[in-house]
Amino acid sequence: MRFFPLLLATLALAQPVAVPGWVRLVPSVVKDTAAYLTLENRGKTPLRLVGAETKVAERISLHQDHREHRGGQVVLGMRPLPYVDIPPRSKVEFRPGKYHLMLEGLKRPLKAGEKVELTLRFADGTRLKVILPVEMR
C-alpha cells in the first residue's frame, strides 16, 4: 500500500477533460477540415497538448488563426503550432478564430452527423479519446 498515496498524487497533477465540440463539414472535394472543442485541465500542473490522431485523416496538426495588417488590409491566416499549453485549473478553447485541430488528408468525405474519434496526445504520455460530431456551421 506504499504506492497508493503516490498514485493519488500523480492523478491530481494533470487531468485533461474535453468539453464536447465538433468537426467542420466540408465539401467532398476538400481534403482538410478543422475540429473544435474545449480542453480543461483540472489538475495542479500544466498540460501540454502535442498532437492528435484519427482514422479519418492522414494526420492532425495544431493551428492558431491569426490576423495581420498589411498595406492597410487585414490578412487572415493560420499558423501551425508545436504544442498548446493548458495551465492548471483552466480551459483552452479550440474554436473558429482561435485554436483548432487541422485534420489533413481526409481519407474519405465526412458526412453531416457522423461521429469522428480523435485521440489527443499530451507531452506527459496522457492520451484522451474524444468523439466529435461532424456539423455544418
CA distances to 2, 65, 87 from 54, in Å? 38, 22, 25
Provide DSSP, 58-125.
EEEEEEEEEEEEETTEEEEEEEEES-EEE-TTEEEEE-TTSEEEEEEEESS---TT-EEEEEEEETTS
In a domain, 1, yes or no: no
Cell of 34: 478543422
In a domain, 31, yes or no: yes
Domain extent, residue 24, equals 14-135
Contact 42, 89 (CB under 8 A): yes
**Global confidence as pTM:** 0.85
Q: Which among 56, 136, 67, 71 has a CA at the least distance from the CA of 102?
A: 56
**pLDDT tens for the chain, residues 1 to 137:** 443 333 333 344 567 888 889 999 999 999 999 999 999 999 999 999 999 999 999 999 999 998 878 888 888 789 999 999 999 999 999 999 999 999 999 999 999 999 999 999 999 999 999 999 999 99
- Do strands 16-24 and 32-41 pair parallel, antiparallel, or not at all (unpaired)? antiparallel
What CATH number does the domain containing 22 carry?
2.60.40.1890
Instruction: Tell me how many domains the chain contains.
Output: 1
